Amino acid sequence: MFWMALCGLIFASFMAIVRLLSHQMHPVQVSFLRYSLGLAFMVPLILRMRAQDFRAANLPLHAMRGIGHGVGVMLWFYAMSRIPIAEVSAIGFTAPVFATLGAALLLGEKIRLRRILAIVMGLFGAFVVIRPGFAVVDPGAIAMLITAPLFGFSDVFAKMLMRKESGPAVVGFLSLFVTLVTLGPAIYVWQTPTLEQWGLACLIAFLANLGHLSMMHAFKIAEMSAVQPVKFLQLLWAALIGFMVFGELPSVWTWVGSAIIVLSAYYIARREAAARRGL
């Protein structure tokens, strides 16, 4: 639980720096720098890959996942430059909802009525946050609504790949393909970063990798169903950092919608854990 709480704090801090840097340069360029520099940080992990990892690699599926994830990353960075951090976090937590739907469609997993209701509830929570028809919907919120299913289906593809490939291979190929996907758009909007901006970009890449390592360590030493609820502390961290750094005060609708999304994702996580135990 400690490692998962730390993961949430790291990711919330990462989001704050992304928001700061996205105000200084195009979000697409920031997304490219995050993954290209992150790929450099992952060189020791990539060097640990064996020859059989490359022979067993399902490159078409890796490419499909990388393209979808790369588009999602660019939309996510765009959303970070437009809407409050807490709102990005709230809508982003609908990704497990879409992952559950994707698992049913692509992996043949059974999806029962209770899970369908949880999916509907999670989507309803996202609409409570953005309130279409009752408030002006920011393009950033629309970008996040597109991002969430892309990230959800990316997780499903990862699960498919992990059946025959190693963890380092799945992570390494994702970083490589996302870097390639974001390269062209980044060149189109490129502006030479200052020394300070290079420093912030390196910090973003470092924190992103550190957050993933903390999350993987939490999953390694404890059951996912035990630590999953702690992950939702990221909403609190995001709201606090957004308020302290940018003066963003989440609306009551953000909190209400967040609560609905969290309950939905938590219920799905619990049902997945129960299904694995045969309950």
pLDDT at 93: 76
| pLDDT of the residue at 99 | 76
Q: What share of the chain is helix, strand, coil (3-state, %, to 5)?
A: 80, 0, 20
Cα–Cα dist 255/129, whole Å: 8
21 in Cβ contact with 200 (< 8 Å)? yes
Tokens matching residue 138: 């920011």
The pLDDT, as a whole number, for residue 140 is 87
- In the prediction, which pLDDT does 219 show? 62
Instruction: Divide the 279 residues of the chain into consecutive groups of 10 and give the mean pLDDT of each group.
Output: 82 87 90 88 72 76 91 92 82 77 74 71 75 70 90 83 74 86 94 93 87 72 60 74 78 78 71 61
pTM of the model: 0.78
Contacts of 81 (CB under 8 A, 6+ apart): 19, 22, 23, 27, 140
Cα separation, 259 vs 122, in Å, equals 10
Whole-number Å distance between alpha carbons of 124 and 156: 22
pLDDT of amino acid 200 = 92
What is the pLDDT at residue 194? 93
**Residue 179 DSSP code:** H
**Residue of 130, 129, 127 lying closest to 138 (CA atoms):** 130
